[in-house]
Amino acid sequence: MPRIQAPTVAEHHQRQRRALIEAAMGLLAETAETPSMAIVGQRAGLARSSVYQYFASADELMAAVVADLFPDWVRQVLSRVEAAATPEDRVWAYIEANVDLFTSSAQEVARALTRVVGPDVLQGPMQEFHEQLQVPLQEALRASGEPEPEAMAALIDTVLVHALRGHDDSSGEDPAAVRDRALARLRRLLGGYPRSAAPELG
């Protein structure tokens, strides 16, 4: 029996499960394919048989990745937004946090998931993800005096997607360059809200 390196058995199991999810995410980002349970176990430092103690199948593991990925994205964006000082700063923090996520390895995981799991697994979490993100953006826009916060929030999300267009096909391009280009586009277009909080690239 493997040695338990945690204060409790429950915490040990939680850590092992977390390690398997993170291993699966890393493999998804690298290959864009559903990894085998054996390879996931190897990446996490567990025997193949041990992996099945936590997940009955690769499909169940992929569902766990979906359930983990989007709430984590929400937490990251909310943390950035809440740390900003003014409503205008919070709008820009939302924009910048989303650009950072969409140019990170997490986006590679999300893109791979659209290929390896069914829409019935993805649809609910993705819809909830977008709805949760709209709330802090709408609140910041409302606090800044925007008369149509819901419509403007939806428009900002659409602009974000278009500002990042081409990232999927930018094979080998430095993610920092993709990020800077997207933020420069957004500064030029969304000068009203983020102007006070959008420092020049330097």
pLDDT of residue 201: 45
Element (H, E) at 176: helix 175-189
pLDDT in tens, 83-135: 999 999 999 999 999 999 888 888 889 889 999 998 888 899 989 998 999 99
CA 25 to chain centre: 11
Supply the DSSP string of 63-103, one letter for each residue.
HHHHHHHHHHHHHHHHHHHHH-SSHHHHHHHHHHHHHHHHT
Per-residue exposure over 3-28, b if at least 16 CB sit within 10 Å of its own CB, e if not: eeeeeeeeeeeeebbebbbebbbbbb
pLDDT of residue 26: 94
Q: pTM of the entire structure?
A: 0.79
- Which domains are delineated in the chain? 1-56 (1.10.10), 63-191 (1.10.357.10)
CA distance 38 to 34: 12
